[in-house]
Amino acid sequence: MNESTFPGTEHEMGHLPGQYPAPDPVQPISTPPSHEPTPPRPAPVPPRSLPDNYAEMPKPTAKLTAEDLAPVNDPNGPRQKIGPTGRPLPDLPEPLPPTKTGPAQVIAMCNQKGGVGKTTTTINLGAAIAETGRKVLLIDFDPQGSASIGLGVQPHDLELSVYNLLMQRDITADEVIRATNVPNLDLLPANIDLSAAEVQLVQEVAREYTLQRVLDPIIPLYDVILIDCAPSLGLLTVNALTASNGIVVPLECEFFALRGLAMLTDTIAKVQDRLNPKLEIVGILGTMFDGRTTHAREVLDRVVQAFDERVFHTVIRRTVKFPETTVVGEPITTYAPSSQAATQYRDLAKEVLARCPAG
């Protein structure tokens, strides 16, 4: 008898004992077609608009062509080169050597916003003017002493500074003024002691004229005196504006610097009305300019629209050379005399001397 005939031993053919039959293949589940409409795709998020502060700012200057950037032969005359301010660049002559020394043009470098290039401009403009043979005095009127450091003088090593000249009647300018390594350029240094003068001058009679009093004896000895003001509109800055007959406003091509310009012009107007009617704005200087950015071009366009010919044609562009000059303690005109930055400050010197001749 075959074992398959015994009860309990029956099993299907092709399957060994202890194995389960293979499952049937899984059939896909079919879903009935949906008659509901497909939900619409969300609308793209619109780009974020500029803040209201930008609403009145002009559109960036149109891209200049190669024809605009260089003079061309024209039957009606040569076309003028267009500068970064969007205006034709003037043909400024080389300054003639001075025939005599003094009296000096006193120019304050002023902007209550810090970090706009006041000290850099003071040092390099002074050195560029000194290259023309004019006698230049640079006054460091900032308690931080940045202009002194930029010309190789350590403020903490000073025995006498501009503070002593202001507050001590027995100190003369000759005792404080230092010659620099740049020919024709002298320095009246400052250090942290100058911060005390802001408080002490409050009790002085005619306190706004203190700097003018100490400068009167040395004005005949120089052709140009540049005052590097502190980044504020306090009593020291008012002293500098009262002692000056011109003001240069370094302006970073950035919106916050543009906002502070209105406050500065209001202060200048008050000084003109109450203390120094001879004070005039020599020019507004665009600094740290990067023509590749729309924002920098917008700010510069806005300044030109507001102040027109008061804006210098020369614009100081960003460069890594300026921090290097601070380390070595000399101006860009001697550290990198053939650099683009040195050329820009020489062009600025031509404009300044054309607007307020000295010597």
Q: Please give the pLDDT value at position 204.
A: 85
Query: Rounded to the nearest 5°, which phi and psi values hold at 282?
Result: -70, -40
Q: Please give the pLDDT value at position 293.
A: 86
* Confidence bin at 112 (pLDDT 50/70/90): confident
**pLDDT above 90 for 143:** yes
**How many Å apart are CA 315 and CA 313, to the nearest integer?**
6
**How many Å apart are CA 36 and CA 33, to the nearest integer?**
9
* Confidence bin at 157 (pLDDT 50/70/90): confident
Averaged over 185-204, what is the pLDDT? 92
Q: Please give the pLDDT value at position 164.
A: 94
Mean pLDDT of the chain: 80
Residue-wise pLDDT for 165-178, tens only, equals 999 999 999 999 99
Give the single-character DSSP code of 228.
E
**pLDDT above 80 for 38:** no
Bridge partners (DSSP) of residue 251 are 286
The answer to whether 101 and 222 have CB atoms below 8 angstroms apart is yes
Residue-wise pLDDT for 118-141, tens only, equals 999 999 999 999 999 999 999 999
**How many Å apart are CA 24 and CA 268, to the nearest integer?**
95
* Confidence bin at 260 (pLDDT 50/70/90): confident
* Confidence bin at 80 (pLDDT 50/70/90): low
Using alpha carbons only, give the angle 353, 354, 356 rounded to the nearest 5 degrees: 60
* Confidence bin at 27 (pLDDT 50/70/90): low
Q: Please give the pLDDT value at position 211.
A: 95
Amino acid at 20: Y
3-state SS assignment for residue 312:
strand
Residue-wise pLDDT for 341-353, tens only, equals 999 999 999 999 9
Residue spans of the domains in the chain: they are 105-355
What is the CATH topology of the domain spanning 105-355? Rossmann fold (3.40.50)
Q: What's this model's pTM, rounded to 2 decimal places?
A: 0.77
**How many Å apart are CA 223 and CA 338, to the nearest integer?**
25
Q: Please give the pLDDT value at position 34.
A: 53
* Confidence bin at 115 (pLDDT 50/70/90): confident
Q: Please give the pLDDT value at position 113.
A: 84
Radius of gyration of the CA atoms of the chain, in A: 36
Range picked from 83-92, 152-161, 248-257 for highest mean pLDDT: 152-161
**pLDDT above 90 for 104:** yes
Q: In what order do the strands lie in the sheet with 311-317?
A: 178-179, 185-188, 136-141, 224-229, 105-109, 246-252, 280-289, 311-317
Q: Please give the pLDDT value at position 62.
A: 38
